Structure formats: C-alpha cells, structure tokens
Structure 1
Amino acid sequence: MGELAPVQPDYVTPSSSKDSLISKLYENLNSNPYFNAGAGLAGIGIAMGFLRRTAQISNTFLRRRFMITLQVNNEDAAYPWLLDFINKRSATQTRNLSANTTVHQAESGKTELSISFLPGHGTHFFVHDYRWIKVERQREKQVIQKDGIRTPFETVTLTTLGSDVKFFKRMLETSAKEAIDNAETGLVIYQAVGPQWIRFGVPRKKRDIDTVVLDGNVCEQLLKDFQEFIGSATWYADRGVPYRRGYLFYGPPGTGKSSFISALASHFGYSVCLLSLSERTLDDDRLNHLLNTAPPNSVVILEDIDAAFVSREDPMANHPAYQGLSRVTFSGLLNALDGVACAEERITFMTTNYVERLDPALIRPGRVDRKQFFGNATDNMMRKMFERFYHESSDSPLAEQFVRRVSEQKSELSPAMIQGHFLMHKEDPRGAAEHVNDMFKSV
C-alpha cells in the first residue's frame, strides 16, 4: 500500500483574514439600503457645505474687490437729501414710498401743508450715471433724539458694482447741492437800529437775476466782477491790498439800481444791510461802527448818497438848503469807507441819481472800485422785458409792435415805468402793445 500524503493544516494569514472581514463588511453595508441613503445624504451635505463656503468666500472677495458700499443713517444731515435724490431717480422702479408731512401755520391762522415722498423701508433699485444701484433702507429697534423728537434709528445702504469710491462721493455731493439749491430761503434785510444791525421783517422772496434786464452785457460783467472778488481773499492778502470792494450805481430813477443789488445778493446768497446817511441819529462814530460790524456774507447799501452830501466843488455846497441834512461829516464818511480801522471783507454799494453832485474824493478808487451807469430802457431792453413778462418767443410780433410804438414817441422810459405798464395788462400782451400811449400821459 502506498503511503498517504500528509494532510496540510488550514492556515490563514492575519492580513488575508483582515481583508476578508473588510470585504464582507463592505458587502454587507453596500447591500444595506439605509446605509446607502445616509452616505448619499452625507456626501451631498459635505458637497453643499463646501459649495456654500466657496460661495461665501467668493462673495466676500467680489464685494471687496468689485463692489462699493455707502451707508448713511438718519443722524446725518445728508440722510433726507440722499433719500430725496434716490426717490427722484427711482420713481419708475419703486412703488414702496413713505410720506413726510410738514404743517406751517402763521399767527394769522393761514395754514400751509407740504408733503414729500421718500423711498419706503425695504430694497429698491435705481440707475444713476449709467450704474444700477441697490438701496436697502432699514429701521432699527433703537431710538434717537432728533430736534427734540424721539425718532427710530434708520440706515440706508447703497451698493453698486465698481471699485471707485469717488462715485458715491460725487453722488452725495450732487444730492446735497440739489437740496441746498432748492431750499426755500429768502433775502434777509438788515436795518440799523442804534449801534446794531437788526433783521427787518421776515426774509423776502429771492429775486432771480434774470428778471432784471440791463442793456448789453452789463449784467454778465457785474456778476463776473462780484464772483471774482468773493473768491480772491488769498490774492488780496498775499499782496497786502485791503479786501474791500466798492460799487457806485448811478443813473435816472427807476432804472433798476436797487433791484439789481437785491437780485445780485440773492444770487450769491448774501444779505442786504440798508443804511441811510440822512438819518438824524446817525453820526460819525455810529456810522463807522455799523460799517465795520455788518453781518457775515452781507452787502451794505448807501442809497441816494447825493442827498446827504454834495461835492465840495459845487457852488451849492454852502447853500443853507444843504446844511444840517446829516450829523455825519464828509470826512467821517471817507474814514468809515477807507480808513485805518476799516474791516476787511466788506462790499459796499452806493446809489445816486446825480453822480455829478458827488465829491471826487468819495468816488475815487479804493472807495469806489467800479462805477456802472444804469440808463433808461433801450429797444433791446424793452423787447426782452416784453418777452420775459408775457413768455413770448424771441421773434414775437407783439414785442416788435410794442418796441416800435414806444420808439415812435421819441421819448425815453425807465424800466420801472414799462414794468408798471405791463402790470396794468398782466394777462393781455396785445393790450400792452396797443395802449403804449398810456405810459406817456404821466411823463
């Protein structure tokens, strides 16, 4: 009998046993539907978390590099200006508005109501300077004290694409300029009472400079001269020249001297200080004090200065009729206008109907830097006045008819007389052109 082969014992290495167990475990888990669903959800969750985190990082990067933001709260003076600016440019995009109502009641009982509409709370979009801008207006829980009234704290946030922060700076400056230009301000008149300047009544309605019609380019020249002076403080200081400006407006009565000064002051945002040299209580000391303590951003008007003084070269200077008209001496006036103690940054206007009566020392350079004649109405002035008053076109046949009929009378008219005639025919330009003779009945 042959020998039996030895039986080899079953022997499994540790590594093969481990692989077998892992394989069986994987097969069991793979066949388990609950595990597959959970693993899938976990994978989706991890992927979504990664995508969310990537989106956040990308959003932060994009906002920092390619977007700019402006935030303003209602404690800032520019807040209502900015909201009004947005509302004007988003009128067709937003339908969510908030109303701001103001009631003005006079002592007489007359009541005026004004309502302004601003963008409501929430998100709005508007276009400015070819850019889409996102607006978020939010109201917080905290309360602030504003003008004695407790008001909820609010913020408005503007966001747009770009990297130039000057875009929002320019926009904020534009909104502020629009608000200031449209603000209801008036012409403040000051009157000398004792040694002080006191406001005279309520502010007058400002007069548009375009409503004063002068011959040729006189208006443009005076505007340029005034503008150049108020912007030249450093130039005067560097050269040691006193920073003062004196104007003399002369011409027949009713030619617009005082009207133009008021319009000029209104145009540049200045107040007007009226001073009469013929006032019985005015003396040299008080005159000097008043001229040197005029309110900031104001002009001083010495009207009809010829009525207070006549030229020392005039034979009538010693006439009794001209004696005692004023306690102000001529030398006192000269020192007040151009003396050692005179204040800087002062603008003085003198008006007269008779420039020939004024002493040369009074109107020399340094006291009067610019003289301007205001004459009676020329054909061009009458044409412009007619067109402006009745809103006629530049080639209006009625305006030409009016000018022709006035010229036929061979007599001069002042702008004040022509304006008075127009007021008699407020809504009737044809009547104003046909009844020209009415103006000459009182001439």
Structure 2
Amino acid sequence: MFAAPFANPQRVDDSRPASRTVALFMFDFALTGVVVNAVRIANALVVRGHDVTMLVCRDTGEGRRALDPRVHVTLVAGPLPRAKRGVALAAAVPDLRRALQALRPSVLLSVGNHGHLAALIAAQGLTDMRRALRISNEPDHPGDGCIKRAVRRACQKAVIDRADHLLLVSPHLARTAVLQRARAEGRAAITPNGVDVHATQARAEVPCDHPWIASGRPFVVTVGRLARQKNHGRLIEAVAIANHSRDIGLMIVGGGSAEAFGALREQAAELGIADRVELAGEVANPLPYVRAARAFVLPSLWEGLSNALLEALACGTPIVASTTAGSAPDVLANGRYGLLVEPQDIEAMAAAILRQSGADAIRPGDRALDFAADKAIARVCMAIEQGPCIEAQPFPYPPHEVGVVTV
C-alpha cells in the first residue's frame, strides 16, 4: 500500500568496508512498511557492493517488483506455506537454517518483528555471523490483557537478549526499558525510516480517476492495513461526529480480511455514514489519494515510525495523528507540523479532523526534508556494516520535545 519509498538510493556514504554477504529475512513481499524498508535496505546494500540475499517464506507481494535484480531471493517456505503467519514462520525454521548454512552470511538481518524469533532459532550455533534485528514496533500494545502483555514482553526480551545488534526505527522505541538497556550495552542504534521527497511528490501527481477526487468531494484519508493496531473503528466514529458539523468523507486505503472489511462497513452503516466511508482496499499507489485529501489521519494505537506519515509530510497534506502512533509526536514536533490527539478520544479526533480539513489547517511545510531517504538508508547500511558504533555519529534529523496539542 506504500508506493514512492521504493526509489533506489544512489547517494550513499563513500566510506564503505569490504564487500560481504548479507542475508535479510522477512515473511513475504506484501506492501507493508516493513517490506518497503526491507527492499530499500537490500537495494542500497547492493549499490554499496555487498552480496545480498532475501530469505522469504512466501515469494509473493507487490514489493517484489521493486527489488533490484542483483538481489537474490531464496524461498524458505517450510512444510506449511499456506498456514497463518505465525505457524508458517515456525514451520519454516528448518528450511531457514539450511539456507543460512549454505549462504554463511556475515550478517543476518531480520527485518520484521514477527520473524525475529524464527530467525534467531534458525541461526543458533552458526558461527561467524552477526545477528541483527530491525525493531519496528513497541512491545506493549494497548488493549492486550495482562497475560498476553506478559507473554509479549517475555518473548521480546528473550529475542533482544540473544541478538548481537538491534536497529531501532525511531527514537520513540529507544525509550522502552528493555531497549534502553540494549543501548546502554552498546548493542542498539537508532536507524529511522526515511522518505524520498521528490519521488513521493512525483507519484502523488499521477492522475487518479476515483470519483471522489474527480468530483472534488472533501475527504480525509488514512493508509494502513485493516488491523486493530490501526484503530479504524475509532476513526469512523470521529468522522461520524465531524459530519454533524459539515459533510466530509473518509477513505481507508489498505488490505485486510473479508471479516475486517465487513465489520467496518457495518459500523459505518450503523452510524449513518455508509455513503461517506470508502474502503479502497490495497492500492499500489495511494499517494494521489493522500495528495487530494483535505487531511491525512494516523489514529494508530501503536507504531514505530510510520512510512505513511512520512509520505503525507512529503505530499504537504495536513496531518492528524494519535499520540500513541510511535514517533508521530517527534515527527510533528509537538504540534508544529500537525495535530496530535489521544487515540480513544473521538471528540478530540473529530475536532482535529475538522480543523485540519479546513482553512486554518496546520501544514507540514518542508518538514519531510528532515527525514531524507538517502540519509536514513545510508545510516541503516552503516549499522549493518559497522554495528551500533554509528550511534556516535550525528543523528539524521533534529529531535523535538514531545507533547500533545489541545484542539
């Protein structure tokens, strides 16, 4: 569902170590933020002269098309390739281990949180290989029960303790206790996501024949898969409240199960806004929707550093984000570049939507330039090549005080 970020970085740091073999492990090539960044990293490592192999459980998804042809792809499907992700990952461990034994990479980078445990189990006992994990989401998820939270924390601690290096996608993640310890031990570095501003703007200008855009209908947009994390239900409630003041549509761009689509349609109908909620599904290039929208909304219950948020910055679209959407408070600099609201406060979210879709909206200006993709990807490559010692080097964008804007 993410488009512009696949532009291959060419301006990279010239102080490169000798070529090495690098393996990246992820589940598949479905268009998610994890895949977008994994493909970027693989492509950049090839440009830097490394021999790169992507190890995947499923060789499917739109992200595959953006992969540099010099990057090798090896399928480690296991005996249950069509099972649910957790089961498929567990079943793929033997195949993954055999692939690692054959490749003998100097670095194994697991790029998706769900695959970290499988990667570490498969790599156990293999020598002369650094095990790196890219951490893209925080361990605590709002709404989890006590048992589920305890299990999640225990699993993440076990994974983090066994990794050689940790690459954190945002400063926000570095504030959690277990990752603070890893940084203190010299095993973790912040390697944020980035956005190719010019490529994003070019993709956003591609003509789109959606009737809402063609007719000039006012709408707000959110981009993300249909999952509890994305908090679409609360967003629909907020849009229903906003419609008491003026007519405004909601476009939700992202894939999901038939049950998820059905639940959101049913909710919109119950709130009387069925004709004002558009479920666009997974779209290869959602940027024309983001550019045409009156505002972009990121109501997530948790995130790392959202690619969709960075793309909205690059498009110049006014932004509403939840305070729990990972590094959104840092990115928006305490309300300087957009509005922040609590994710469960639908009245505040509705008020923020009305303001950001109106004449007095707070616009992001050139904030996206602080997250330039070439700097971000070069930092990831340096961390893979050198380890967390890059932490002593200048951070690629200025930190800001975190806060909440009252609307």
User: Is the TM value for this pair above 0.5?
Assistant: no
Q: Which protein has the bigger strand share?
A: 1
> Using CA pairs below 8 Å that are at least 6 residues apart, which structure has the higher relative contact order?
2
User: With structure 2 as the length reference, what TM-score do the two structures score?
Assistant: 0.27
TM-score (norm 1): 0.25
